[in-house]
Structure 1
């Protein structure tokens, strides 16, 4: 996806505001397995995925628990770092070679003070991130693993061909054996 498409998906900006924002965005590449964000560290930037897949996870003593996937067009952010300038909870790694757009949070916040359109864009961005989080929590609390898998098939089927089954199972909150049973049941 182009950065213009991503910006406009969040909230359409007048051309002059979009150009001001784009002046602070750079393209970066990461190879598969790279750590984009590390838990317990302040992350002073956000990414937008041009190409590739990333996952957010939390580590426990026994394993990593995947709780989010991002792909083309998605925003990669540590909300705690973005909002409070404090260390985030999550690790974010690339699951494929990735091309990303990078924006430093400090530059974005400066633009909020200078341009009301960009400030509104930032508000819409934060609102959309909040809704994604709310949907994830509700799904985890009220849906079965089978329902969550069917939702994943419907909403992000491309992940099923591009992401290891272990990460998918972790995201669904089940074992790989249970995931195999669900997949067999659906076929």
Structure 2
């Protein structure tokens, strides 16, 4: 996905503003297994996923708990880093070799102060991320695991092909055995 498509899917801005944003972008490629954000560390960057898959997880009683997957077109960010400039609580790992767009948070903040269209883009960006978190929280609290799995394969059918089942089970809040049972019932 191109940076122009990603910018516009967040919030369309005039071409002059889009050019300012694009000038900040550095395109990078990082290998599978790389930890992009680390617990208790501050990252000074925002990433947009051009190609690949990532997951966010944390440790609970020495067990990795996956709570988010990112894929092409998604933003990769620690909101605690971004909003409060404080160490994040999550690890974000690349599950495939990834092509990314990177923007320094400090440069982005400067543009927010200079360009109202980019400031509105940044507001919409933060609002969109908040809605995604809210949807995941509500789904996790009020949906059965089988329903969450069905929603996952309906909206992200390729995820099951690209992500290890242990991560999917963790994301759904169930064991791999339970996930196998759910999958066999759906087939």
- Per the TM alignment, residue 60 of structure 1 is displaced from its structure 2 partner at its CA by 2.7
- Per the TM alignment, residue 156 of structure 1 is displaced from its structure 2 partner at its CA by 1.0
Q: Could you tell me how far apart the structure 1 residues matched to 2:104 and 2:39 are?
A: 18
Which SS does the other structure have where 2:153 is aligned?
Answer: helix
- Cα deviation code 1:70-104 (max 9, x no counterpart): 00000000000000000011100100000000011
Give me the CA root mean square deviation: 0.6
- Cα deviation code 1:163-182 (max 9, x no counterpart): 00000000000000000000
Match of 2:48 in 1: 48
Match of 2:39 in 1: 39
Match of 1:26 in 2: 26
Which SS does the other structure have where 1:151 is aligned?
Answer: helix
Indicate whether 1:11 and 2:11 are aligned.
Answer: yes
Aligned residues: 187
Q: Could you tell me how far apart the structure 2 residues matched to 1:103 and 1:172 are?
A: 31
Q: Could you tell me how far apart the structure 2 residues matched to 1:32 and 1:41 are?
A: 20
TM-score (normalizing by structure 2): 0.99
Match of 2:141 in 1: 141
Match of 2:94 in 1: 94
Which SS does the other structure have where 1:12 is aligned?
Answer: coil
Q: Could you tell me how far apart the structure 2 residues matched to 1:20 and 1:39 are?
A: 31
Match of 2:162 in 1: 162
Give structure 2 stretches of 5+ with no counterpart: none
Match of 2:124 in 1: 124
Q: Could you tell me how far apart the structure 2 residues matched to 1:132 and 1:51 are?
A: 20
Moved segments of 4+, more than 4 Å: none
